[in-house]
């Protein structure tokens, strides 16, 4: 683990700024040479130059910040950083393992759910921070090696006010992000934000991975109110917060005062007034069968008066309707005019959370075995990409290879087992046939004995 506490990384960035001639700079480094060169163009006051100089130095000091990072590389020490909730007495237990297959036996160790049909609740705390004016990146890996049928694989981000020992499903959170699978109908990535005390689900359907391999999930939340969801370092969804969630009322609403004019004709077609019904149109729908004959044995005294069966009239054409023609008075479909919604108020701070301080796992699983690893909370997308490449990116192919080898081994063992069972069944069948044949041979002498005994009885 590179440390769970907040740390920063300097990111040099070069920009050119106009400066005056005549400024004397100490020749102490390559930066001095750079500044002498760039400060040679203009004729301004020294104070302006010093201001530009300060700006340039500040640019050299731009930092990316990692607020939380967890790789579980120090054995059982993770238990000092992660706290289990005591809200329920029967929460499932976590264990540290790389699972049944992996890319690296040590680097792929993570927290695994270990008991079926249980709720799980654990969390880790870090220094509180606000993402105001900054990008927020939440990233982690998930492996459902148990062929999950129903269970969560998401994380929650909480404020510092969370009582970790009492964390549960109704504890208020800022963000919920990650995969959720249940049967064939639910295989999605949750992206839920809390806004003014209410949880808002994304309106889009973001599909998650449902195989048994490790996958990298990344949520990027930008201060310009846009977002991006990535799986395995590839973008799978993006957009704006206002469009893809129902945080705010609609900008416009139907004008309650507007009504469709009474003379508004919205019929594209109309009956042809000149069209008339043919004289032979009206015929009965059903008629007596003309080919039917009264049975010879029909007795009217016993059976009543004979009536031929009824059949559909082949001449029947159904209800007559005049043909349709274009309506000369058609004005098109009436569109209800809209007005600005008086309840709508733009909010440029939907993305902002002031007190981010806890990352938690609060979920339910029917079949246990999911492994969580490589957690990262940062303000730098590039940092997250690099961290993902250094962790999941390095072990994904070896993991896939080991998984394939394990599958091939199991398949071979099953084939051999099936062959053994087939051989045993065949041998048992041959033994049964042999027993039946042996039984028939034993019956033959008995029949002969009876035949031999019969004459003796006759003699008596």
Residues 371 and 230 in one domain: yes
The sign of the torsion formed by the CA atoms of 83, 141, 217, 128 equals positive
pLDDT at residue 21 is higher than 50: no
Report how many domains make up the chain.
Answer: 2
Per-residue pLDDT band at 57 (split at 50, 70, 90): very low
Given this model, what pLDDT does residue 439 score?
60
> CA 173: distance to chain centroid?
20
CA distance 228 to 384: 13
CA distance 278 to 301: 45
CATH of the domain at 120: 2.60.120.200
CA distance 127 to 357: 6
Given this model, what pLDDT does residue 402 score?
96
Annotated ligand binding at 154? The verdict is: yes
Is 225 within the bounds of a domain? yes
Annotated ligand binding at 173? The verdict is: yes
Annotated ligand binding at 27? The verdict is: no
pLDDT per position as a tens digit, 406-454: 899 988 988 888 988 888 888 777 777 777 666 655 555 555 444 444 4
Average pLDDT over residues 254-275: 94
Residues 84 and 194 in one domain: yes
Annotated ligand binding at 107? The verdict is: yes
Where is pLDDT greater, at 319 or 447?
Answer: 319
Residues 132 and 149 in one domain: yes
Annotated ligand binding at 170? The verdict is: no
Is 156 within the bounds of a domain? yes
Annotated ligand binding at 382? The verdict is: no
Annotated ligand binding at 410? The verdict is: no
Given this model, what pLDDT does residue 6 score?
59
Residues 243 and 122 in one domain: yes
Residues 124 and 167 in one domain: yes
Burial (CB count within 10 angstroms: exposed 0-12, middle 13-18, buried 19+), residue 399: buried
**Average pLDDT value for the chain:** 86
Is 368 within the bounds of a domain? yes
pLDDT at residue 61 is higher than 50: no
Is 340 within the bounds of a domain? no
Residues 225 and 372 in one domain: yes
Is 315 within the bounds of a domain? no
Among the candidates 405, 426, 446, a domain finishes at 405
> CA 397: distance to chain centroid?
23
Given this model, what pLDDT does residue 430 score?
73
Is 154 within the bounds of a domain? yes
Domain of 242, in residue numbers = 66-249+349-405
pLDDT at residue 13 is higher than 50: no
pLDDT at residue 457 is higher than 70: no
The structure's pTM equals 0.71
Residues 34 and 109 in one domain: no
Is 442 within the bounds of a domain? no
Is 131 within the bounds of a domain? yes
């Amino acid at each position: 683990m590179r440390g769970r506490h907040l740390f920063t990384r300097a990111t040099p960035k070069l920009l050119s700024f106009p400066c005056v001639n005549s400024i004397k700079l100490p020749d102490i480094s390559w930066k001095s040479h750079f500044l002498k060169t760039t400060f040679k163009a203009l004729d301004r006051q020294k104070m302006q130059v010093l201001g530009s100089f300060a700006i340039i130095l500040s640019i050299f000091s731009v930092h990316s910040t990692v607020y939380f990072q967890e790789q579980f590389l120090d054995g059982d020490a993770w238990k000092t950083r992660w706290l289990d909730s005591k809200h329920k007495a029967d929460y499932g237990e976590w264990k540290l393992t790389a699972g049944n297959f992996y890319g690296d036996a040590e680097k792929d160790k993570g927290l695994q759910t270990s008991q079926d049909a249980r709720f799980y609740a654990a969390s880790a705390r870090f220094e509180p921070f606000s993402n105001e004016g900054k990008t927020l990146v939440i990233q982690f890996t998930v492996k459902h090696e148990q062929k999950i049928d129903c269970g969560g694989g998401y994380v929650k981000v909480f404020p510092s006010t969370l009582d970790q020992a009492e964390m549960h499903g109704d504890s208020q959170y800022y963000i919920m992000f990650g995969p959720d699978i249940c049967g064939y109908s639910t295989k999605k990535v949750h992206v839920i934000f809390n806004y003014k005390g209410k949880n808002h689900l994304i309106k889009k359907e973001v599909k998650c991975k449902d195989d048994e391999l490790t996958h990298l999930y990344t949520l990027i939340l930008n201060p310009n109110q846009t977002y991006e969801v990535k799986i395995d370092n590839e973008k799978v969804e993006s957009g704006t917060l206002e469009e893809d969630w129902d945080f705010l009322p609609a900008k416009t609403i139907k004008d309650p005062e507007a009504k469709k004019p009474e003379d508004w004709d919205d019929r594209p077609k109309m009956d042809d007034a000149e069209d008339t019904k043919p004289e032979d149109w009206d015929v009965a729908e059903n008629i007596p069968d003309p080919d039917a004959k009264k049975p010879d044995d029909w007795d009217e005294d016993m059976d009543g008066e004979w009536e031929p069966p009824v059949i559909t009239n082949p001449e029947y054409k159904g209800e007559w309707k005049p043909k349709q023609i274009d309506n000369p008075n058609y004005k098109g479909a009436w569109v209800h005019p809209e007005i600005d919604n008086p309840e709508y108020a733009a909010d440029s701070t939907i993305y902002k959370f002031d007190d981010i301080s806890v990352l938690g796992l609060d979920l339910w699983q029917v079949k246990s075995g999911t492994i969580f690893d490589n957690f990262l909370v940062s303000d730098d997308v590039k940092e997250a990409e690099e961290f993902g490449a250094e962790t999941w990116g390095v072990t994904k192919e070896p993991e896939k290879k080991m998984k394939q080898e394990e599958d091939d081994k199991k398949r071979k063992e099953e084939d051999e087992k099936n062959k053994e069972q087939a051989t045993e069944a065949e041998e048992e069948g041959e033994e049964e046939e042999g027993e039946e044949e042996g039984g028939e041979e034993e019956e033959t002498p008995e029949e002969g004995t009876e035949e031999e005994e019969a004459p003796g009885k006759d003699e008596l």
